[in-house]
Amino acid sequence: MADDRDRETLTYSSIRAFRNCRKMYDLRYNQHLAPIDEDSEAQALGTIFHGSMERWHRRDMAIPVGQAINAILEYIDGACPDRITDDRQKKIWHLARAMFLGYIKKYPSDAFDVVAVEKAFESEIVNPETDHSSRTFIMRGKVDGIIVKDGKHYLLEHKSAATIDGNYIDRLPMDFQIILYSDYIERFMNIRIAGILYNVVGKAQIKQGKGETVEEFQKRRAELIAKSKTGKTSAKQWVPESDEEFQERLAKKYSENDMFHREMLIISRENFDVLHSEIWELTQQLLLARRTGQWYMNTDYCFHYNRPCMYFPICRSGGNPLVIENRYRIVPPHSELDGAGDNLEPMFT
């Protein structure tokens, strides 16, 4: 068998990219291109949210809980060092704090034991017909956590979502990522994964009040007076909402039940059989694409999330080198394995 170091890494993200658009795979995983402004607000918040959950669930139970909370709030502060001058960082900081504080209030203790957090794995990709391992590829990934409940192992998966509704929950059993992770973790750790505990936290959509200038107030006041039967108004100039006031408003929002949801799903073993065949088939198609140099575009996918794919400027320009030079940079693939995130697409956001 080939040495692991000689084999090429496949991850959930890279397989998903190849499945959805081969051109996307080629640009990210062969050419190592990533947009210069890739670090979206959602990704930055997701990284801090996962970091908070990781620290909370692996905390030393021997230290006072207040000390653990303070350490995590300090981590959030450190992740947003420019929040005083940078509005985007300020917004992420507020939300990350409120999500974490709301979470520990909602779930001050858990009816399960956390046995691993941010667990990295690597496993063979096996041909289901011959039982032989791939000599070219190896599967790598990282799961948010592994828990034990009533003597059974479950994956713990943290998700942040703009809306937690019936549609969102209905789609969870179709989550290709988690079926894949369950299967490979089983083989890597030699344990049986009974299911997945999805731990979903909502992203509050409220914004910090910015206040209004004197001119804006005068204009609004004039409009109110024009509409008033008495020709008067008691309107006052809006002042900016302080950080404390906004945190208070966010805390109230996060005291609502629909900002959190936990869903326990049991894995069907049949899902694994289908997955093995599909993953093997994809590796064969990947080898074929590499041999022929054909990385087909799936143009139905360019606006899949009602916004352009991050490589749309390249594809639209026919691969113009100037577009690539000005809008993209070289980033090593699989950065999610280092904790940096490598999301080409939003996941249920």
Interface positions with ligand SF4 (CB under 6 A): 21, 23-24, 297-299, 301-302, 309, 311-312, 315
Q: How far is the CB of 30 from ligand SF4 (least distance, A)?
A: 12
Q: How far is the CB of 342 from ligand SF4 (least distance, A)?
A: 15
Question: Is the Cβ of residue 242 or residue 317 nearer to ligand SF4 in the bound state?
Answer: 317
Question: Is the Cβ of residue 35 or residue 173 nearer to ligand SF4 in the bound state?
Answer: 35
Q: How far is the CB of 339 from ligand SF4 (least distance, A)?
A: 25
With b for 16 or more beta-carbon neighbours within 10 A and e for fewer, the 223-242 pattern comes to eeeeeeeeeeeeeeeeeebe
Q: Residue 104: name the closest of 69, 139, 132 by CA.
A: 69
Question: Is the Cβ of residue 107 or residue 312 nearer to ligand SF4 in the bound state?
Answer: 312
With b for 16 or more beta-carbon neighbours within 10 A and e for fewer, the 11-29 pattern comes to bbbbbbbbebbbbbbbbbb
Query: What distance in Å separates the CA atoms of residue 330 and residue 36, rounded to the nearest whole number?
Result: 9
310 SS3 class:
coil
Question: Is the Cβ of residue 23 or residue 249 nearer to ligand SF4 in the bound state?
Answer: 23
**CA of 198: how far to CAs of 22, 89, 170, in Å?**
30, 27, 12
Q: How far is the CB of 125 from ligand SF4 (least distance, A)?
A: 24
> Is there a contact between 193 and 223 (Cβ–Cβ < 8 Å)?
no
Question: Is the Cβ of residue 73 or residue 289 nearer to ligand SF4 in the bound state?
Answer: 289
Q: How far is the CB of 45 from ligand SF4 (least distance, A)?
A: 24
Q: How far is the CB of 78 from ligand SF4 (least distance, A)?
A: 34
Q: How far is the CB of 118 from ligand SF4 (least distance, A)?
A: 30
Question: Is the Cβ of residue 126 or residue 324 nearer to ligand SF4 in the bound state?
Answer: 324
Question: Is the Cβ of residue 48 or residue 315 nearer to ligand SF4 in the bound state?
Answer: 315
Question: Is the Cβ of residue 259 or residue 344 nearer to ligand SF4 in the bound state?
Answer: 344
Q: How far is the CB of 311 from ligand SF4 (least distance, A)?
A: 4
* Secondary structure (DSSP) of 134-180: EEEEEEEEEEEEEEEETTEEEEEEEEEES--SHHHHHHGGG-HHHHH
With b for 16 or more beta-carbon neighbours within 10 A and e for fewer, the 115-128 pattern comes to ebbebebebbbbbe
Query: What distance in Å separates the CA atoms of residue 101 and residue 224, rounded to the nearest whole number?
Result: 39
Query: What distance in Å separates the CA atoms of residue 68 and residue 3, rounded to the nearest whole number?
Result: 41
Q: How many residues does this entry show for the chain?
A: 349
